[in-house]
Structure 1
């Protein structure tokens, strides 16, 4: 296949991408010659809209990350989610105890890698115009704000890539990070940077975003805001094990009056279309009746009894962690109806979060800050962490909740309560990996210990290795 010369973007921000997967050959979505693609603030705004459109899942699945692939894999590769015995063959190898999903020929991992680097390539192109676009008084916002969002988008993509395709910060193989393109230079191959170099760049991008993103309008919860950057900082500090700063930034989000924690009464409707305007949400991927993923590719395709394939579910072990009065029991998670007809034993738990294709996909919401703070406090002040855990669950989800465990059991409970709250929102596999917690899936018997290479890192896609001879596979594959 010839190298791509140009990708196209309709001026509403809808990307028309090619089938090429290698990140080093991706060009930005433009309609004008490369040397004059972004000429004013209006076109800059369109280009930034294009970055957010790359978060969506398209109709052929060639673009797939935060809209479906990441939340799906985070659960299916963890201990609380699984693919049913009868399935469409999508994600079916995640249930194999021989860990055959973790292969460099995985189409899912190849799509994830390519999509995230496509986002980075387009962010690099946008940022190449920083300082060159004058403020247009007739255009809402400012160029500074637009570039701040591009920095935040790039930081988020690098955070996801390094957390999945490398080992933990200060873990094994610290020199085996990911490629770190920071300029728009098509067809230039790069070797892996170190894990620390990648995290240093994430910090630099978030710092740039924090100083710029508050300038001008931010378009509600469909674009990244200062609160989103604070949340991403909190994630960054958890990943780099600076728990004091992780706590500080989580508290900044909790103190932000522009957002409100999801109440017990708000649980029922939060994942409906009417819940899109709930004050809990900080950032979500926009879908609407005119801009939908295909029935085969969106998050609703494989999850819940309302989906096309009705194959991905939660485990009974997961469901048993919820008390009888937990407001999430029977609303977000159900053990009745369709799942009782399936041949799986134990019977699956229906995950009823996303049941409408035009429901925006939640990426950042305020309650995540509760759990980021709890994790940070576990490492710095576990007594306070225990007290805050009990207070939050009793106040917001289950009035009868009481937990008194200590040590590693407390950490596991914090992360379990996080998964009960944020199942299918993109956390479980990474949470376990970041904290060095091996696991065994009670439904599939898939087991990952901390010594296994599959726990440390995803393999690089073979297509990328074939194209970029400067890259080497993660040791152990």
Structure 2
């Protein structure tokens, strides 16, 4: 962990607590906020857990010293996974928050960029607080109540979550490298310690230990509140889901399938109306885990929906409508209702569009024979989706992600885990095991609810199933940030020009327009921050990716 941060543990704890629980400071002076006070009993430890929850969606400068307003943590990190790989495509040149640099593959390849720095520090901030909680519980003087076990389970699960995020971004993919020798990330299990990189295998081993310990604690823990707010708390389903992701990323197919099935228990698939409602609330039936974003939290122009939703009233969206890969959209069957949220025939109203085809004068869509028809189509889209006058439209514009209050700057919940993902994990794992019928069954269970004509028995080999599963993941999970890890697991590069093209502009996307597959291209690995190398005595410049 960063040695510079280790020298400021009380300040980090103060930031987390004050951003979460104002009443804590009503009874304890600010200069008395120490680990001993903050962790004196389970009620205070729950406040620290709540601080970790809040830190997932707060602007990073409120979570740790040296943060930056341009990165509101998971508001940014979630869509980044699809921005890097061309799931979410920019249609115009808009550089808000440095997002243009993300799609051009500039930020994560630079060790002094705030993307590489803040993702690293945010995840290790989670680990620090998880370690503080676990160390306090290990002292053994607290009564082991169901509520304390819930706190313990969350601390283990959070540490595993952070380590998995770190090793998947700052190390070579488990399935495409040599995990026994490839450098991983520091595994820190004791507060205030630093550490060397170790190996990818060592990191994965610790994640397994933590997830098993989380599951064991949760088995006798108090249940979380059954509400939108409650879904921000981690529980046994979340731990099973994290274990399914961990196992999938390392090719432990049996564990992936089994844990995915356990994770989705009690979270039924959404209806068509729910699926089309915008993915903006944890209230949706299949949401297993998500951040319940507080309306007063000042993310606004730093929020997930500002980055990825075409309904947000911000310049980054108004001037730069987000589009989906047209190769994906064109392949959606007419019988699949998910295709309704993508608008391949939306007029290109943006005269600054990267493809140079914006405005009536450049219209090539035969649906619009007159300028009046062109303008009426724009007006119709704005009316249907609640857009304001300044919003532009663009072919293949996506409306899967929609705010609860479209045309506003309101932040909404961030969904991290849902049942559909678990079915797709199970299908992929069973396919890789060449268990054809179980893979078909898992695929049918999810896709059959979206596409009335879908028949999974048409896919009778591992190869056929995997091609369909890849398509279904790209469609079902569009905009939810899985593109980066999927590409690494499947060892797939990026080629916006192939097979008729994605719709992205090569002039705009630059290096992000084409990237070789991860197994032969180390640019997929995030750089270790310069500050970490300079401050951590156990990491040197020779450890850089």
Residue of structure 2 equivalent to 1:6: 10
What is the SS of the residue equivalent to 1:239?
helix
Residue of structure 2 equivalent to 1:457: 525
Q: Does 1:260 align with 2:268?
A: yes
Q: Which moved more, 1:239-248 or 1:410-419?
A: 410-419
* C-alpha contact 1:234 1:247 (8 A) present in aligned 2: yes
* C-alpha contact 1:449 1:455 (8 A) present in aligned 2: no
| Distance apart, 1:377 and its partner CA | 1.3
Q: Does 1:245 align with 2:249?
A: no
What is the SS of the residue equivalent to 2:245?
helix
Q: Does 1:376 align with 2:429?
A: yes
Label 1:352 to 1:57 Cα distance change in 2 as closer, same or farther (>3 A): farther
Match of residue 427, structure 1, among 456, 468, 482: 482
Q: Alpha-carbon deviations, 1:328-370, whole Å to 9, x = none?
A: 2233x33465864362338452244142534211111111110
Q: Does 1:350 align with 2:421?
A: no
Label 1:127 to 1:423 Cα distance change in 2 as closer, same or farther (>3 A): same
User: Structure 1: 5+ residue runs without aligned partners?
Assistant: 17-28
| Distance apart, 1:375 and its partner CA | 1.1
Label 1:453 to 1:197 Cα distance change in 2 as closer, same or farther (>3 A): same
Label 1:452 to 1:167 Cα distance change in 2 as closer, same or farther (>3 A): same
| Distance apart, 1:208 and its partner CA | 0.8
Label 1:340 to 1:330 Cα distance change in 2 as closer, same or farther (>3 A): farther
Alpha-carbon distance in structure 2 between the residues aligned to 1:455 and 1:437: 13
Match of residue 224, structure 2, among 210, 218, 225: 218
Report the RMSD for the aligned CA atoms in angstroms.
3.1
Residue of structure 2 equivalent to 1:25: none
Label 1:335 to 1:329 Cα distance change in 2 as closer, same or farther (>3 A): same
Alpha-carbon distance in structure 1 between the residues aligned to 2:224 and 2:243: 18
Residue of structure 2 equivalent to 1:416: 471
Alpha-carbon distance in structure 1 between the residues aligned to 2:402 and 2:424: 22
* C-alpha contact 2:169 2:526 (8 A) present in aligned 1: yes
* C-alpha contact 1:228 1:282 (8 A) present in aligned 2: yes
Label 1:50 to 1:439 Cα distance change in 2 as closer, same or farther (>3 A): same
Match of residue 286, structure 2, among 280, 283, 288: 280
Alpha-carbon distance in structure 1 between the residues aligned to 2:436 and 2:335: 25
Q: Alpha-carbon deviations, 1:439-460, whole Å to 9, x = none?
A: 3133243323234434552111
Q: Alpha-carbon deviations, 1:94-152, whole Å to 9, x = none?
A: 333x7675222222121111111111111111111114453498xxx521221111111
Alpha-carbon distance in structure 2 between the residues aligned to 1:31 and 1:74: 40
* C-alpha contact 2:88 2:479 (8 A) present in aligned 1: no
Q: Does 1:183 align with 2:251?
A: no
Q: Does 1:116 align with 2:123?
A: yes
Alpha-carbon distance in structure 1 between the residues aligned to 2:16 and 2:32: 8
| Distance apart, 1:380 and its partner CA | 0.8
Alpha-carbon distance in structure 2 between the residues aligned to 1:200 and 1:114: 22
Label 1:135 to 1:241 Cα distance change in 2 as closer, same or farther (>3 A): same
Q: Does 1:470 align with 2:523?
A: no
Label 1:293 to 1:330 Cα distance change in 2 as closer, same or farther (>3 A): farther
User: TM-score normalized by structure 1?
Assistant: 0.85
Residue of structure 2 equivalent to 1:107: 114
Q: Alpha-carbon deviations, 1:205-241, whole Å to 9, x = none?
A: 1111101124113233121111111111111211221
Residue of structure 2 equivalent to 1:359: 412
Alpha-carbon distance in structure 2 between the residues aligned to 1:475 and 1:204: 26
Aligned residues: 453
| Distance apart, 1:72 and its partner CA | 1.7
| Distance apart, 1:398 and its partner CA | 1.5
Residue of structure 1 equivalent to 2:407: none
Alpha-carbon distance in structure 2 between the residues aligned to 1:31 and 1:70: 33
| Distance apart, 1:466 and its partner CA | 1.9
| Distance apart, 1:316 and its partner CA | 1.8
What is the SS of the residue equivalent to 2:304?
coil
Alpha-carbon distance in structure 2 between the residues aligned to 1:117 and 1:59: 13
Alpha-carbon distance in structure 1 between the residues aligned to 2:31 and 2:522: 38
Residue of structure 1 equivalent to 2:441: 388
Residue of structure 2 equivalent to 1:48: 49
Label 1:240 to 1:408 Cα distance change in 2 as closer, same or farther (>3 A): same
Residue of structure 1 equivalent to 2:136: 129
| Distance apart, 1:280 and its partner CA | 0.7
User: Structure 2: 5+ residue runs without aligned partners?
Assistant: 23-29, 62-66, 358-394, 405-409, 497-501
